[in-house]
Structure 1
Amino acid sequence: MSIVLLCGVLYGVMRAAMLIFTPANHRANRLLAALIAVLALYTAPYIIGFAGYYDACPWLSFAPYNLSLAVGPLVYLYFSAMGGVPVTGQRRRPFHLLPALLQLLYYSYLFVQPLAFKNNWDTEVHRPYVEPVETLGLMASLVAYAILAWRQYRQSDAMLKEWARNMLVAVGLTVTFWLALTAAEWAWSGLSYFQRFPFYLWLAILISYLGTEGYRHGAVAFPVPAPAAIVPAAPVPGATETGNLAELGARWRATITAERWWRDPELTLATLARRLGTNTTTLSRALNDGLGVSFTETINRMRVEAVIVALSQHHDQPVLDLAMAEGFNSKASFNRAFKLYTGSTPTEYRRQGPLATQVSTSG
């Protein structure tokens, strides 16, 4: 049993370490790595327990493995990081992890106490008083943050819909399993190590899954939330005139460039309009009538320009990888756009050098 759990946990932890060093989406990847680490720590007592280490080393009791109150907040914060919609009260985000910090301080303090003190505390205080409160808090936290993560997913323009949906399903099943285990603990006045094994086996599988899929999607560019200061609250008065449309289109194009929204392969006119705080009609007119280019032309030109810059910086990286990183979702669409706006194919461009062609700016 220890080996089975250890294999799943070690694999997930290895992937979490790789996530930390993934050169993209730093905040989101580190939050997911932290979630995997917390789940791995929570599983650790059962890995060493099934192997008999608690019997051989009783001083390991109250080791600070249990940071379960961080699970819900980390799930929610990860979804907010990859969702593409800013969460209100960003400065208050660290407070989501305050209960987990209190857990860490509590177990760390007890861990360094003499064994006789720990045994007495476990019998007289921890099991009858602290553990029930901690369990109720955990259940409330898991349910509340699962709902918040779901709402964040529903409200966002997440470009990784399938991965986000699958992760929500996995988290939902875990919360259900956890609730069932807690109910069984209370109904039968505690369960043995062996009776709890299926749940910890599930956690090991979950850790492996999060590590595998999280790393697979970790390098894909997530949407970047728009700062409130650059989102107009309402359409600019007089924007129906051609001059004002041109000014509005130029300003919105600058915002797209600054926020690098072209990197979202699922970006649509409707999605972009929501991010800019306008509607599709006004946005379409500002681009078509004001700038003389369509939404598709605007975004594809930005992507091609970004690929050209990347080609000059990453000489050995495959062209298609660079294209995918800048928002193109297929080789055919990339080749077609690159040829249209530069007059040469990507392979010809790289062979001839950066001065051979340049992106056309004409309509």
Structure 2
Amino acid sequence: MFFGWRSAVLLCAVLVIIPITVALAQSALNRAANRTLALLLLVLVGVITPWMIGFAGFYDQWPWLTFLPVALPLFVPPLAYLYAHALMHGRWPPRARLALVPGAVHFMVMFAGFCLPLAMKQDWADASAPWINAAVAIGLVTGFIAALGLLAREFRRYAGWLGDQRSDDARFATRWLARAIAALGLLFAGWAGFELVDLVHPLGYEGLMPLYCGIAAVTVFLAIEGWRHAALPWPAMAQDAPDAPTPPTPPPGGHDWAALGARWQAELRVAGVWRESDLTLARAARLVGTNTSYLSRACNEGLGVSFSTLVNRMRAEAVAEAMAVAPAVGLLDLALATGFASKASFNRAFAERFGTSPSAWRRSLGS
């Protein structure tokens, strides 16, 4: 055996990933999502393990390790999607386990080969490797395309829903989810490319090393960032039941959503509830005596903005007014006092409302 730099690089990644995987599996918050991420990390560690031990000469020293059923990449695309789905919905989708069937079949094939007598293993490996590798490559590419499409669709839906339901949507780590999807997209694209090239022109152990270094790097990123965001509150995307009596039957011409939106906006402004950093659509609907569906339609169809944008505009306007009367107070203090949860969300909302940054607006007041 020779434990060279290639094995050392992959082993360093594994030593970072494994403790985080154990911690995620035991996390009480966001349990479905964190356990799914732990399972995904474990699968990715399994994928790089044959290369880690192979470069160290394990297979030469112990040939019975042939067909060791730890590299199961067909589990990666569905688990990546299921992790994101569990964050956004609090659970796996119905019949989600069906997406794991290709990975399970691959495991059974590998396990059957692993259980063969040593004398038969090499013959079976030579006979089966071409069609197993081809099936896995095709399954991976197909799985990557399907997973990325589903991830992009679900993320757009969740971001839109969060904007309609919460005034503090920036607090709920959608940026982390966007970065995770982007990292997975890069991994999937590179992985699919290597698999397709390897089908036509076998790259061998050394030729595939860049791929497995990339897998290790992305896995470390997902582990560290996933743990950092493991305890953040993620509202589950679901249909809200009406939280106030449904208003009377609409007039023959239908509701005037613009008028209702203007009226309810004025009521919310007077009540000052926009100062609550965790204000929700449900609470706002109760305050104006309607239900979430009507208030959401009044915002989107009547005023042309989401509930989140409406509330953050009120907050930005309040900060602009406060700048004029309290020029010595810091911008962040003003932002937090009016309900913004972070400097980033404040700067974004202020620029959207006034077309300039808060600091530039303050300078213009002094000129």
1:149-298 → structure 2 map (5 Å cutoff): 149-157=151-159, 159-188=172-201, 190-226=202-238, 231=241, 236=246, 238=248, 269=281, 276-280=292-296
Classify 1:278/1:71 alpha carbon distance in 2 versus 1 (closer, same or farther; 3 Å).
farther
Q: Report the TM-score, using the length of structure 1 for normalisation.
A: 0.64
Q: Which stretch of the first structure deviates more once superposed, 206-215 or 179-188?
A: 179-188
Give the number of equivalent residue pairs: 261
1:170-195 CA-to-partner distances (Å, cap 9, x unmatched) read: 1111111112212321332x112111
Q: Which amino acid aligns with 1:107?
A: M
Contact 2:134/2:199 (<8 A) preserved: no
Determine the structure 2 residue equivalent to 1:341: none
Q: Residue 15 in 1 paired to residue 20 in 2?
A: yes
| 1:103 equivalent among 106, 129, 132 | 106
CA distance in 2, matches of 1:71, 1:135: 13
CA distance in 2, matches of 1:143, 1:271: 40
Classify 1:328/1:99 alpha carbon distance in 2 versus 1 (closer, same or farther; 3 Å).
farther
CA distance in 2, matches of 1:123, 1:64: 17
CA distance in 2, matches of 1:272, 1:117: 70
1:271-350 → structure 2 map (5 Å cutoff): 276-280=292-296, 329=341
Contact 2:17/2:220 (<8 A) preserved: yes
SS of equivalent to 1:238 = coil
Determine the structure 1 residue equivalent to 2:132: 130
Classify 1:75/1:272 alpha carbon distance in 2 versus 1 (closer, same or farther; 3 Å).
farther
1:22-46 CA-to-partner distances (Å, cap 9, x unmatched) read: 2200000001111111000000000
CA distance in 2, matches of 1:272, 1:203: 45
Classify 1:276/1:56 alpha carbon distance in 2 versus 1 (closer, same or farther; 3 Å).
farther
Classify 1:276/1:136 alpha carbon distance in 2 versus 1 (closer, same or farther; 3 Å).
farther
1:198-238 CA-to-partner distances (Å, cap 9, x unmatched) read: 11111111111111000000011111233x5x636xx9351
What is the CA distance between 1:109 and its match in structure 2?
Answer: 1.7
Classify 1:271/1:236 alpha carbon distance in 2 versus 1 (closer, same or farther; 3 Å).
closer
| Long gaps (5+) in structure 2 | 1-5, 163-171, 252-275, 286-290, 301-310, 313-338, 344-367
CA distance in 2, matches of 1:177, 1:39: 15
Contact 2:33/2:90 (<8 A) preserved: no
Alignment RMSD, CA only? 3.4
SS of equivalent to 2:229 = helix
Contact 2:140/2:192 (<8 A) preserved: no
| Long gaps (5+) in structure 1 | 242-263, 285-294, 297-326, 332-363
SS of equivalent to 2:237 = coil
Determine the structure 2 residue equivalent to 1:143: 145
What percent of counterpart residues are identical? 33
